[in-house]
Amino acid sequence: MYLSKIKLNLASSFVRKGFNNSEELHKNVQSFFGTDRLSSKSLYRVQTIGPNAFLYVLSSKTPSESDNIGDIVGSKDITNFIDSFSNGNIFKFSCLAVPAKKISSNGGPSKRKFLRSTEEKIEWLNRQSAKSGFEIIGPIEAVSKPNQRVVKPGSSFDFPVTNFTGLLRITDSELFKTAYCNGIGPLKAYGVGMIMLMGAN
């Protein structure tokens, strides 16, 4: 797996469209790989630092330059880092995610319900962690971010996002490797679900 940092070209009309429509942002990210998300196994997140915006992308292959979207600042093979995950490792983490649950609909297809309260969101994260090989230790911050919008031919929808930050401890290294590489929660094609780790001990 590769972790890449890409500086977005904010003068590009493609990039500006991506900030207003997560479907366009998804296409922008995949243009670095020339394939679909499942083939590149890509997760990504946008972060603004001062006047600049960066993409952090986790993928199974290295990105290639993409005209008008941005410049690749760096790309690193982190396979050894992932393989080093062990039970008991503690990391600071940040994860932009979509807390939601499925509810039945009178015998029909289940529907996704977005969770709104801080308590519900933290309970959701605890459920995700329990099946993903980690546990939250200490206080957790759950900060709501502006809704993201998806516009496709014939349909559109908005979804709320929450940024979780805190400390996690690995309880099952194999499950955690899978969660780290695949992300957590729904709508991962739209820049959410990526677990960003900082500082292990």
pLDDT of residue 72: 94
Indicate where the chain has its CATH 3.30.70.1200 domain(s): 2-77
Q: What is the 3-state secondary structure (H, E, C) of the chain?
A: CEEEEEEECCCCHHHHHHHHCHHHHHHHHHCCCCCCHHHHCCEEEEEEECCEEEEEEEECCCCCCECCCEEEEEEEECHHHHHCCCCCCEEEEEEEECCEEEEEECCEEEEEEECCCHHHHHHHHHHHHHCCCEEEEEEEEEEEEEEEEEEECCEEEEEEEEEEEEEEEECCHHHHHHHHHHCCCCCHHHCCCCEEEEEEC
Between the CA of residue 96 and those of 79, 126, 146, 182, what are the distances in Å?
23, 15, 12, 14
2-77 fold: Alpha-Beta Plaits (3.30.70)
pLDDT of residue 195: 98
pLDDT of residue 185: 96
Indicate where the chain has its CATH 3.30.70.1210 domain(s): 83-200
- Between CA 197 and CA 92 the distance in angstroms is 6
Quote the radius of gyration of the chain (alpha carbons, Å): 17
Residue range 83-200, CATH number: 3.30.70.1210
Query: pLDDT tens for residues 76-120?
Result: 999 999 999 999 999 999 999 999 988 877 767 788 899 999 999
pLDDT of residue 9: 92
Which pTM does this prediction carry? 0.92
**Sign of the four-CA dihedral 77, 80, 81, 82:** positive
Contact in structure between 124 and 186 (CB atoms under 8 Å): no
pLDDT of residue 200: 57
- Each residue's pLDDT expressed in tens, for the chain with a length of 201 residues: 999 999 999 999 989 999 899 999 999 999 999 888 888 899 999 999 899 999 999 999 999 988 789 999 999 999 999 999 999 999 999 999 999 988 877 767 788 899 999 999 999 999 999 999 999 998 999 999 999 999 999 899 999 999 999 999 999 999 999 999 999 999 999 999 999 999 755
